[in-house]
Amino acid sequence: MFRTARMIKILLPVLLLVAHVLPLSSNAHATDLVMPDPSISPEEVVAIQMKALQFNDNPIPDFGIAQTWSFAHPRNRAMTGPLERFGTMLKGPAYGMMLNHASHRIVPVAGDGEVANFDVFMETGGGRMVYFSWTVELVSGGEYDNCWMTVAVSMPRDAGQQS
């Protein structure tokens, strides 16, 4: 019972945010993106990004890439941006499997008060199981002060099981 209540407590805010990320309208605008906010937890940041990548072309082509970019830490943006370059990277051989993947599971691992780490297990569209190490960090100062944003995502590693 406690576990179910805890899961509901964790998943309900994520589902509400995802409902905002994937509106039913076919006319998406930049304002439809979920933007970093201090109220969004580290796990919710990863969940928003993974759900957006899972449905990358909904409601419009590459909406998931734009949503993922919106939670890229300013240091990450400096290394991978601008958005067009980031999109090319996500469509490339290393990360392309993230786009339109079949399913994913986010598992928290050790972190501290300003850094949160996750293992993200993902089934690709082709049924391959992989995982990524995903790191988010609390931004200090500037436009995104006190917001959790992604600083690093590892290269995919084989998770062993296939569907």
Instruction: Spell out the per-residue pLDDT of the chain, length 163, in tens.
Output: 444 444 334 433 443 333 443 343 334 455 589 999 999 999 999 999 999 999 999 999 999 999 999 999 999 999 999 999 999 999 999 999 999 999 999 999 988 999 999 999 999 999 999 999 999 999 999 999 999 999 999 999 999 765 5
Query: What pLDDT shows up at residue 30?
Result: 53
According to DSSP H, which parts of the chain are helical? 2-21, 42-54, 63-70, 74-80, 83-91
The pLDDT tens digits for 85-116 are: 999 999 999 999 999 999 999 999 988 999 99
Cβ-based neighbour number of residue 154 at 10 Å: 13
Q: Any idea of the CA torsion for 100, 101, 105, 106, to the nearest 10 degrees?
A: -50
Q: Whole-prediction pTM value?
A: 0.80
Instruction: Write the CATH number of the domain with boundaries 2-25+32-162.
Output: 3.10.450
Q: Can you read off the two tokens belonging to residue 17?
A: 């945010």
